[in-house]
Amino acid sequence: MVSSLFQASPDFSYIGALLAAPFADSLGRKWSIVVSCLVFTVGIALQTAAAALPVFVVGRVFGGLGIGLASTLVPLYQSECSPKWIRGAIISFYQWVIALGILISNVLTNTTKDRPNHSAYRIPIATQFIWVSILAGGMIFLPEVSTFVSFHSSIAYV
C-alpha cells in the first residue's frame, strides 16, 4: 500500500505531460515553464515539510505534475528557439544534464541515507529547490518563442 502511494509522482507526471500542450498554447512556452516550476516548487515544499504521509503524497502529486509539465515544455521551448544547425546538440545536452542530475541525486541520497533523523530524506528533496530556481529564474530573462508571439500577435496581416 505504501509503495503504491509513492507512485503518485510518476503517475501524475503523465498527466502533467498531457497538460503541457494546452498550457504552452495559452500561456506561451516561456511562462508555461515558469508555471511548471511553481507547481514543482509547491510539491518540493510539501514533501520537505511533511510530517505525515498524506502531506508527503500530496507533495508527490504536485511534484509529478510539475515534472511532467517541465519535461515536455523544456524540449519544446529548446526546439523552437534554437537554430536548426544546433538543435539536435541542444536537445542531446538536455538529456545529458538529466542523467547528470540523476547521478547527483543518487550521490546525495547515498550520502544522507545514514542520518538518524528526517534530514535523511529532507536534504535530497530540498536540494531540488536549487535546480528549479535556476530554471525559473533563467526563463525570466529568455525570450518567448517566435511561433507563439506571431500566433498571438494583435497585428492583422492583409
pTM of the model: 0.86
Cβ count near 116 (within 10 Å): 6
Topology adopted by domain 2-143: Growth Hormone; Chain: A; (1.20.1250)
Per residue in 13-33, pLDDT (tens digit) is 889 999 999 988 888 889 999
The answer to whether residue 2 scores a pLDDT higher than 50 is no
Q: What pLDDT score was predicted for residue 1?
A: 41
Cell output for 134: 535556476
Q: Map out the domains of the chain as residue ranges.
A: 2-143
Q: What angle do CA 33, 35, 37 make, to 5 degrees?
A: 70
Mean pLDDT of 36-44: 96
Q: How confident is the model at residue 121 (pLDDT cuts 50, 70, 90)?
A: confident
